[in-house]
Chains A and B, each alone.
Chain A
Amino acid sequence: DAGVIQSPRHEVTEMGQEVTLRCKPISGHNSLFWYRQTMMRGLELLIYFNNNVPIDDSGMPEDRFSAKMPNASFSTLKIQPSEPRDSAVYFCASTRDRSEKLFFGSGTQLSVL
């Protein structure tokens, strides 16, 4: 199993540009989570999906952030327009139903200049 796959690994963009982060969960996992990690705030849950349906997006910072899961093997997190304070590492994680432990991808390091 390849694990959770995220792309790109690094993204450098200018303020105001649209950024799209991608995630492929582990096959057979039906819950998917997007987290953001910064030194100051640690790992923050942004949104999670169960069976491709968004269950809780209360962690999404503002309307500039949106996430989709069009099918069981793909999810995107989009920031439009991006701002310097969005700079962080964004992680995707997946798990099966009734399994509490998460499997994380390697993350996307986002820098907004």
Chain B
Amino acid sequence: SQKIEQNSEALNIQEGKTATLTCNYTNYSPAYLQWYRQDPGRGPVFLLLIRENEKEKRKERLKVTFDTTLKQSLFHITASQPADSATYLCALDGGFQKLVFGTGTRLLVSP
């Protein structure tokens, strides 16, 4: 069956460290993968998109990698700040314009 897996346990890190979140998938062949941020009581907000022919993408303190052989994406936040505390969702192209989401990983950055 098709699955998108993100670590359901919260990730706790100290301010200034690099946060690394993982997204693994099975039985999908996505043309692209996206990462979203969700704050409590709000809808997800788009952060980054990476395509299947791209290994890595960066935006300011964010970096995403995409390994289609391992069927895995890693999402990094460098020099993390308490304001980065949120739930981060990966989403992938499920075909026919459908975007399928993982359950998300909560990140807590303490001062």
Contact = CB atoms under 8 A, between A and B. Distances in A.
Contact of A31 (B46, B97, B104): B97
A100 B93 contact: yes
A50 B43 contact: no
Contacts of B98: 45, 48, 56
Given A43-B89, A106-B43, A107-B43, A100 B99 contact: yes
A103 interface: yes
Contacts of B97: 31, 48, 50, 55
Q: Tell me the dominant secondary structure on chain A's binding face.
A: strand
Given A43-B89, A56-B96, A101 B34 contact: yes
Interface of B: 32, 34, 41-46, 49, 89, 93-94, 96-104
14 contacts: A4-B43, A33-B99, A42-B101, A42-B103, A43-B44, A45-B99, A50-B97, A56-B96, A100-B99, A102-B99, A104-B44, A106-B41, A107-B42, A107-B43
